[in-house]
Amino acid sequence: MVNKGPESRIPEDGGISEDGIVRHYSRERRLANASPEVRWLSRQYGAKRPGILGSLLATGPLRFMFFALLLFMAAGALLSFLAGREDSGLLGGQLYKAAAFRFGDTVYITVIRNSRDGEAYQGPLSLAAYLDGRPAASGNFAAGPAAKEEYRLTASSPEPARRLAVRVEAGGLKLELTAPVK
């Protein structure tokens, strides 16, 4: 015999033997002899537990807090989506992305240029990096015909910097990028 849970242990005769002795508790049999108020209470507040979602939505104030939390989470996701990313931007059809990380007393700064349209920008490119608002490094580069290029700068920073700002100038256009220093 395979045990399939509590229902398989209930005897075939409903728990009552031939001599009338009750051997198994039956909630339904007990409720059949109960008053109408008790039967109503059993239907309203049965033995089944509501679960996590039912517990979160059990009362009016809990429902309000739950849906207010959902509303705040949705608003935060929407605002972060609408604000966009600050570490990348478009300049003359080219996508520029800035990144920085700190190792020892030096911050390594990388600016990546991706050509979005078929033609890559070719010409002089100027980068100026600022760590927490203070000038840190700058460089003049020549952008080549490749669709993707990396430009690297290093800046000395004895104190930990939290924010990087990079000003990109190419072809008479300017772009400001900001990124956290990792």
What token pair was written down for 177?
Answer: 């990028």
Is 74 found in the same domain as 142? Answer: no
Tell me the per-residue pLDDT of 116-135, one tens digit each, with 9 for 90 and over: 777 778 889 999 999 998 99
| Position 6 pLDDT exceeds 70 | no
Is 101 found in the same domain as 48? Answer: no
Is 108 found in the same domain as 166? Answer: yes
Q: Is residue 4 part of a domain?
A: no
Mean pLDDT across the chain, nearest whole number?
83
Whole-angstrom distance, CA of residue 147 vs CA of residue 144: 8
Q: Is residue 68 part of a domain?
A: yes
Give the pLDDT score at 128. 95
Is 162 found in the same domain as 143? Answer: yes
Give the pLDDT score at 88. 86
What token pair was written down for 125?
Answer: 């490119």
Domain end residue (candidates: 83, 98, 124): 83
Place of tokens 């956290």: 180
Tell me the per-residue pLDDT of 85-125, one tens digit each, with 9 for 90 and over: 788 888 888 889 999 999 999 999 999 999 877 777 888 99
Q: Mean pLDDT throughout 49-67? A: 85
Domain end residue (candidates: 61, 83, 105): 83
Q: SS3 string of 130-143? A: EECCEEEEEEEEEE
Q: Are 121 and 113 spatial neighbours (Cβ–Cβ below 8 Å)?
A: yes
Q: Mean pLDDT throughout 30-52? A: 80
Q: Is residue 9 part of a domain?
A: no
Tell me the per-residue pLDDT of 146-179, one tens digit each, with 9 for 90 and over: 889 999 999 998 888 899 999 999 888 999 999 9
Q: For the chain, what is the domain count? A: 2
- What is the number of other CB atoms lying within 10 angstroms of the CB of residue 16? 14
Is 159 found in the same domain as 125? Answer: yes
Q: Tell me which residue range forms the domain holding 137.
A: 88-180
Whole-angstrom distance, CA of residue 164 vs CA of residue 100: 7
Q: SS3 string of the chain? A: CCCCCHHHHCCCCCCECCCCCECCCCHHHHHHCCCHHHHHHHHHCCCCCCHHHHHHCCCHHHHHHHHHHHHHHHHHHHHHHHHCCCCEEEECCEEEEEEEEEECCEEEEEEEEEECCCCCCCEEEEEEEEECCEEEEEEEEEECCCCEEEEEEEEECCCCCCEEEEEEEECCEEEEEEEEEC
Is 138 found in the same domain as 119? Answer: yes
Whole-angstrom distance, CA of residue 23 vs CA of residue 151: 83
Is 24 found in the same domain as 79? Answer: yes
Proportion of the chain above pLDDT 90, given as a percent? 37
